[in-house]
Amino acid sequence: MTVHRVTLIPGDGIGPEIMAATRPVLDAVSVEIAWDEQLAGMTALEEVGTPLRDASIESIRDTGVALKGPLTTPVGTGFRSINVALRREFDLYANVRPAKTMVPGGRFEDVDLVLVRENTEGLYVGFQHVIPVGDDPKGAAQSVAVVTRQGCERVVRFAFDYAVKHNRRKVTICHKANILKAASGLFLEVARDVSRAYAGRVEVDDIIIDAAAMRLVLDRSQFDVIVTTYMFGDILSDEIAGLVGGLGLAPGANIGDRAAIFEAVHGSAPDIAGCGIANPLALMLAACLMLDHLDETPAADRIRSVLEATLHEGQARTPDLKGNATTMGFAEAVLRRLG
């Protein structure tokens, strides 16, 4: 049996709780994982004086795979996002965020979407500064979006390859090329060029970002896989998560050529840390994406099936899903079904 070496970062806030609920589920499907536990975020800052220590980076470089809990990023001041730093460090250019209806009785019963966003460029490159205006030293602010042909091409190709591999029917290119003619225009131009290589295998269309946001609510049937740039994907992925019940059900995969990091999309929720009520489902689903990446898809499918069955039963749902189960109570219900 193959032993997979994986870096494990419990994270901040509710991170250690949902990680403690997720690991036994992975153990229950008989996939051999050798964990290398590391620190990052506020936890690392408090314990070792830096939010991202060299040992954590070296561990991911060595294993090539990480399962990560949510990390706290200070708002407005303090250190920059460690999530962004990790994506840059390992050039994790493709962010995959699937969303599928799993909880019956919700507002939307038919959601099965995958959003692929570019993960290293756009406004998130961090080229920003304040500009003095008159006597005001902070009279204006400027943020510059950087979009490269190579960056566009590789993430769009990733999205089409994903569609082919997972038998998805269509890829929709989401943009704002009617207004942002340089940056978004380049993305649309490159995406259309790449799509020609998949003619006859994957259907393709494109849509302006604001129309996409509306149509995701009004008519999801026209979407299957969506590919877009960083900020648009950041916004749409949260909207899509809302269609299936919230960020507690939203996993994410950050994939590059040298490494892959899997995580719950939601934040560290310090207001409920230690209360034992956090929903571990997003991290469990992220662990399933990790198993897919490790060519352990039968184990991933087994977990996904049990998660869905547990939610349909309705006896073990956390408060965000209108239940009263604890974090570990949900995990125990899953483990009983896994046998």
pLDDT for 43 equals 86
Cβ proximity of 91 and 258 under 8 Å: yes
Task: Tell me what the mean pLDDT of segment 157-163 comes to.
Answer: 98
User: pLDDT band at residue 250, thresholds of 50, 70 and 90?
Assistant: very high
Each residue's pLDDT tens digit, 185-203: 999 999 999 999 999 999 9
Q: How confident is the model at residue 177 (pLDDT cuts 50, 70, 90)?
A: very high
Whether residue 77 is predicted with pLDDT greater than 50 in this model: the reply is no
Per DSSP, the residues of 101-158 read --STTSS-S--EEEEEEE-S-EEEEEEEEEEEETTEEEEEEEEEEE--HHHHHHHHHH
Which pLDDT does position 115 carry in this prediction?
A: 98
> Per-domain residue ranges for the chain?
1-96+247-339, 112-243
pLDDT at 79: 54
Of 104-108, 118-122, 127-131, 325-329, which gets the smallest average pLDDT?
104-108
pLDDT digits (tens, 9 = 90+) for 3-58: 999 999 999 999 999 999 999 999 999 899 999 999 998 888 888 888 889 999 99
Cα separation, 45 vs 310, whole angstroms: 37
Would you say residue 174 has pLDDT above 50? yes
Q: What is the pLDDT of residue 74?
A: 62
According to the model, what pLDDT value does residue 319 have?
93
The residue with greater pLDDT, 8 or 127, is 8
Question: Over 80: is that where the pLDDT of 108 sits?
Answer: no
- Rounded mean pLDDT, 172-195: 97
- Give the whole-angstrom CA distance, residue 328 versus residue 339: 16
Q: 334 with 310: CB under 8 angstroms?
A: yes
CATH number corresponding to 112-243: 3.40.718.10
Distance CA 61, CA 4 (A): 14
Task: Give the pLDDT of residue 76.
Answer: 47
* 1-96+247-339 CATH: 3.40.718.10
Residue 314: the pLDDT is 83
How confident is the prediction for the chain on average, in pLDDT? 93
Higher pLDDT, 68 or 74: 68
Cite the active site residues. Answer: 124, 176, 210, 234, 238
Could you read off the pLDDT of 276-289 as tens digits, one per residue?
Answer: 999 999 999 999 99
Residue 150 reports pLDDT greater than 60 = yes
Q: How confident is the model at residue 106 (pLDDT cuts 50, 70, 90)?
A: low
- What does each C-alpha distance from 82 to 41, 44, 47, 102, 233 come to in angstroms? 6, 11, 16, 30, 19
Angle between helices 297-313 and 327-338 (to 10 degrees): 120
pLDDT of residue 117: 97
pLDDT at 105: 67
Matching fold, domains 1-96+247-339 and 112-243: yes
pLDDT tier, 111 (very low <50, low <70, confident <90, very high otherwise): very high
